[in-house]
Amino acid sequence: MQRKWRLAAAAAALLALLGTAVIAGLAAALPDTLYTDEPAAELRIASLPYLSARKKQGAVPADSTAPDTSSNVTLALFGVVPVKTVRAVTTARRTVQLCGTPFGVKLFSDGALVVAFSDRYTALGSENPAKAAGLRLGDLIISANGQPVRSNEDLTSAIQAAGGAPLTVLYRRGESQCTAVLTPTRDENGCYKAGIWVRDSGAGIGTLSFIDPLHGTFAGLGHSISDADTGAELTLLSGEIVPVTVTGCVRGAAGSPGELRGEFAASPVGRVLANDAAGVYGSYSGPAAGQSVEVANLQEVTTGPAELWATVEGTAAKAYAVRIERVTMTGTDPNRNLLIRVTDQTLLEKTGGIVQGMSGSPIVQNGRLAAVLTHVLVNDPAKGYAIFAATMLEKADAAA
């Protein structure tokens, strides 16, 4: 009898432990704040249908001058077992113009990005002033001997002006600002060299996600524009976007991502104000584009069928069938909130799935803009990641 009691107690303890782990896992999957246009007491999580609001504490104004209100809402398993108390902010739902059209992005960086080294070989061996000074690939040079460096020419002029004397270089490495003392060497033509190749601009093709007519802003790509050689994010000085006509496509295959090819138009339709990890944002000055759609809140996005709006030929976006396979409302990488799979046979036959240049293609679910495509899985081009459209709208607001 005692043995049976011990087994029962152990089983109960194991169930309690498993239950605690399940509750902890569900709590970790929920963000601290959710936005809704419905009463907070009716808050539900589409991707976690077994969770619902258990109770609502007194609503308080989020801002005495604004109509928004916020409430503490406890989400509970089957409406009974409390999982997590979140802040539910009730606010008006936003509407944007759906795009999915290709655009070209031209960026000029706020400095000169180190993209390669060029060693000189002499009788004494190889030498490289930049390496000797401690510079690395991806460093962004912002001044030389106190003079701002905004272009390749600015850096070259500073090096020649130093006449072989040491010059102080200010540069950014990641989030840090650093100083180096660089002593150029003289080549056989009498010119002074630092032993580096730098880049001050970048360009590429992506997809315009949406336009916010309320603020006259645009959002695109869903990820930052980075240097092709170093992977470093370009620090923005200025930039513009132009329409693109897709003229061809290289099909993607496992291990070999494809790409869209196109022709840039001459006239810009927008000014880039932010090159962010979550996308490219700025002011829009072109014609109205796309149908108006509501933006889905995070908790409304769920696994299941959806539409990917993309342009793989010409200038007009079309809807292609995809399936959302995973939804993550929390996590360290906002570019991977969703995992999607292309199920549309027409798109698979033409492109092999997701190719470079489709980043920024909007994803619509249940008639609302749910997310924006960001990356392809290199080993499976039919799959890709996406970022919540609501997150990009917040970024666009901040850039306005």
Looking at the annotation, which residues are catalytic? Answer: 223, 344, 359
Q: Which residues contact 109 (CB under 8 A, 6 or more apart)?
A: 140, 199, 200, 201, 202, 234, 235, 236, 237
What is the helix (H) or strand (E) element at residue 154, kind and residue range? helix 152-162
Residues 6+ apart with CB under 8 A from 200: 108, 109, 111, 112, 113, 150, 151, 152
Task: Give, in order, the Cα–Cα distances in Å from 270 to each of 77, 183, 206, 281.
Answer: 47, 42, 14, 9
Q: Coil, helix or strand for 173?
A: strand
Q: What is the enclosing helix (H) or strand (E) of 309?
A: strand 304-310
Contact (CB, 8 A) for 126 and 185: no
Torsion angle of C-alpha atoms 306, 312, 316, 320, degrees rounded to 10: -20
C-alpha 82/C-alpha 314 separation (Å) is: 52
Place of tokens 């609501």: 390
Q: Are 100 and 208 in contact (CB under 8 A)?
A: yes
* Alpha carbon distance 50, 372 (integer Å): 26
